[in-house]
Chains A and B, each alone.
Chain A
Amino acid sequence: MLSETPLLQVQNLSMRFAAPRSLLEWASGTPRRELHAVRDVSFTLAAGETLGVVGESGCGKSTLGRCLVGLYEPAAGEILWHGRPLRELGNRQAISRKIQMIFQDPYSSLNPRMSLEQTLAETLKVHGLATTRGERKDRIDELLLTVGLAPRLKDRLPYAFSGGQRQRISIARALAVGPELIVADEPVSALDASVQAQIINLFEEIRENLGVAFLFIAHDLSVVRHISQRIAVMYLGQSMEVADTDALFDSPRHPYTRALLGAIPRPDPDERQNGVSLEGELPNPFNPPKGCAFSTRCPHVIDACRTSIPPLRKLGATHHARCLPHILDLRGQ
């Protein structure tokens, strides 16, 4: 499968937003400030594969996901779908037949006045699928079965469902069009631990049984580890390290990946982390460091890091990191 054209190729993708000006700035003719939410990000995704995208707030992971479903028009770079530019698929509706999105908050991403059945029926109608009433009913029942909801709940409105059930509805709606890729943006972070595990397992089943690929965006590394074959770590709009899941956790190479892994509180009191915390905070995204985005907090920083952005280096067949070679060679912390 890997020798074929990948399902999705993202090449040097960048996305900028213009900030609104204050009255004073407007009057004095100050140019609009630009926020570089995603800077020069590249990766590939094979059919039926899950790529985890992790990073802290403001790292650009959600913006990246929104570019892929056509919600944002990227400022630069290329998104290839089966080897051809994504925009050749057509408008947003045409893209949404192939790529679907699931959001974090299952409370606001469902129409509160539509029953479960109406929600799913509308998606089918909009895309001209399952056109007769009988077909529609069968398809809806099948979708509910896939996501583990009882068909007898069909007439209920969203408020009658719990958070976990609502996220199941969102998943059923995404699956309704038979997509090849689902972009899931923090889909389990609003859920309690006991329910979170149910939804993670559901994503796994869908990938295995239906062959859907996932771009799984999350801030929780342990969740991402369980669900992804490969992981991309982002920081302030840049992709810092991309690797197979086991390689990333067993031998993280980028200093930010190592710091991130070291900062997660592990649920094991025998493994108390007394290591040094990563100091400082995220730089102002309107005024990012000139060189490497992580240079203001990196424990290994040298002058060269502050002046130019290091290129993405290939460390193995599927392992890349954006850092200087001698720093990447420091194993452990």
Chain B
Amino acid sequence: MITSTSQALLEVSNLQTRFYNQHQAITAVDGVSFEIRQGEVFGLVGESGCGKSATCRSLLRLFGGADARVSASHIRFDQIDLATLSEEQLSNVRGRQISMVFQDPMTALNPTMRIGEQIAEALRRHDGLSGQPLRDATIALLKAVGVTSPQERLRAWPHEFSGGMRQRVLIAIALACKPRLLIADEPTTALDVTIQDQILKLLLRMRREIGLSVLMVTHDLGVVAQTCDRVAVMYAGRIVESGDTRQLFRNPTHPYTQALLAALPTLSGPRHKLKPIGGEPPNLADLPSGCRFHTRCPQAVERCRVEDPQLRHVAPGHLSACIRQEEWAC
């Protein structure tokens, strides 16, 4: 479809992330593996607390002071294993090779620094630019992310910008050092739908123009369907199904994916009663035995309470973790 080769840019194997506080330890990510290819938009989708944000933060170990421990067989990014890097080595990867855009554009910018200064800071730090070349590069970046009249906007303060404009500035900062992978953690959740549309199209344009790979973390299956080449569905700290976006939406095989798609209100077709999933997502401190979805699964059998399902191929490139898959395959 795109100029993607089958070569993996990022390969995550058996990632585990645990959070600690005085009382307990919680395993937010439990044995997650996936790969992102060059120039690909890869989606990580799931409900709150499923571990999708913890997964993407684990790659760069960005936890903002929380006591988190990350372990993995490997997190291979272009020949380097991020899992073995020291904090100092990792900080050279952050921003330069892999950068990140967060959900809340209201708090991610420094309110006491002018917009142009914040973008220039990234360029100065990573590319060593200064003077007129720095100014030109800053203006070019603002222009690339669709900020109109960038020269005048350089001296604006963050509070003078709307949410959509701030998210554009954050994308400009994230792209300042031409990273190869952009991690976008719910990049449009705080934005209005017409502005979301603009930002998603901007990300897709960046992928097309500079061959950017994107890890798109979202709760919105609509965003996944519209932007991602491949997708992994997470539930309670694990990937339960992954595959080509089109294949996964057309032929979802895991009962959770099926139920999630059936629970969505639609914009066209007959308006029938929604089919909700019973109950609520489990508490990570008190996970059910066996399959973590069995307490809510309409197709659960006795075996699901004891057996821990593993991801298996159901079709080429399409993985699903349900022990009943084999019965249905027959």
Could you list which residues of chain A lie within 8 angstroms of chain B, going by C-beta atoms? 56-57, 162, 164-165, 192-198, 200-201, 204, 219-223, 225-226, 245, 249, 259-273, 277-279, 281-282
Residues B48 and A192 in contact, CB atoms below 8 Å apart: yes
Show 18 residue pairs from A and B whose CB-CB distance is below 8 angstroms, ordered by the A residue.
Answer: A57-B192, A193-B221, A193-B263, A194-B280, A201-B274, A222-B267, A226-B274, A249-B267, A249-B268, A260-B193, A263-B196, A265-B222, A265-B227, A266-B267, A267-B222, A267-B225, A267-B266, A277-B198
Chain B residues near A265: list those with CB within 8 A: 196-197, 200, 220, 222-223, 225-227
From B162, which residue of chain A is reached at the shortest CB distance? A281
Among B162, B196, B220, B276, point to the contact of A195 (Cβ < 8 A): B276
Min CB gap B284→A, angstroms = 13
Residues A277 and B201 in contact, CB atoms below 8 Å apart: yes
Residues of A contacting B: mostly = helix
Min CB gap B245→A, angstroms = 5
B258-274 with Cβ < 8 A to chain A: 259-261, 263-268, 271, 273-274
Residues A267 and B194 in contact, CB atoms below 8 Å apart: no
Min CB gap B187→A, angstroms = 12
From B267, which residue of chain A is reached at the shortest CB distance? A222
Residues B226 and A266 in contact, CB atoms below 8 Å apart: yes
Complex Cα distance, B271 from A273, in Å, reads: 22
Beyond A194-B277, A266-B267, A270-B246, whether A278 also contacts B194 by CB under 8 A is yes
Beyond A194-B260, A226-B265, A277-B201, whether A266 also contacts B246 by CB under 8 A is no
Beyond A197-B274, A223-B265, whether A269 also contacts B197 by CB under 8 A is no
From B249, which residue of chain A is reached at the shortest CB distance? A269
Among A222, A249, A265, A282, the most chain B Cβ lie within 10 Å of the Cβ of A265
From A161, which residue of chain B is reached at the shortest CB distance? B280
Chain A residues near B266: list those with CB within 8 A: 222, 225-226, 267
Residues A197 and B165 in contact, CB atoms below 8 Å apart: no
Residues A193 and B47 in contact, CB atoms below 8 Å apart: yes
Complex Cα distance, B249 from A193, in Å, reads: 16
Residues A281 and B165 in contact, CB atoms below 8 Å apart: yes
Residues A56 and B194 in contact, CB atoms below 8 Å apart: yes
Beyond A193-B219, A263-B196, whether A272 also contacts B226 by CB under 8 A is yes
From A164, which residue of chain B is reached at the shortest CB distance? B280
Classify chain B's interface size.
35 or more
Interface membership of B195, Cβ < 8 A: yes
In the A-B complex, the 3 residue pairs with the closest CB atoms:
A265-B222, A197-B276, A194-B277
Min CB gap B223→A, angstroms = 5
- Given A194-B263, A245-B271, 6 more contacts at CB 8 Å? A165-B280, A262-B197, A263-B197, A267-B264, A271-B225, A273-B197
Chain B residues near A271: list those with CB within 8 A: 225
Residues A267 and B192 in contact, CB atoms below 8 Å apart: no
Interface membership of B39, Cβ < 8 A: no
Complex Cα distance, B279 from A165, in Å, reads: 10
Residues A268 and B249 in contact, CB atoms below 8 Å apart: yes
Complex Cα distance, B136 from A6, in Å, reads: 62
Chain B residues near A245: list those with CB within 8 A: 271
Chain B residues near A223: list those with CB within 8 A: 265
Among B261, B265, B278, point to the contact of A200 (Cβ < 8 A): B265
Chain A residues near B246: list those with CB within 8 A: 269-270
Chain A residues near B265: list those with CB within 8 A: 197, 200, 220, 222-223, 225-226
Complex Cα distance, B200 from A272, in Å, reads: 12
Chain B residues near A219: list those with CB within 8 A: 192-193
Residues B225 and A266 in contact, CB atoms below 8 Å apart: yes
Among A221, A263, A267, point to the contact of B249 (Cβ < 8 A): A267
From A279, which residue of chain B is reached at the shortest CB distance? B198
Fill in one digit per residue for B200-239: 1 if any A CB lies within 8 Å of its CB, else 0: 1100000000000000000111111111000000000000
Complex Cα distance, B226 from A32, in Å, reads: 45
Chain A residues near B263: list those with CB within 8 A: 193-194, 196-197
Among A201, A266, A281, point to the contact of B195 (Cβ < 8 A): A281
Complex Cα distance, B248 from A270, in Å, reads: 12
Chain A residues near B224: list those with CB within 8 A: 267
Among A201, A220, A264, A267, point to the contact of B276 (Cβ < 8 A): A201
Chain B residues near A196: list those with CB within 8 A: 263, 276
Beyond A269-B246, A277-B198, A281-B195, whether A192 also contacts B274 by CB under 8 A is no
From B197, which residue of chain A is reached at the shortest CB distance? A263
Residues A192 and B195 in contact, CB atoms below 8 Å apart: no
Fill in one digit per residue for B40-60: 1 if any A CB lies within 8 Å of its CB, else 0: 000000011000000000000
Min CB gap B287→A, angstroms = 16
Complex Cα distance, B224 from A215, in Å, reads: 31
From A204, which residue of chain B is reached at the shortest CB distance? B273
Interface membership of B303, Cβ < 8 A: no
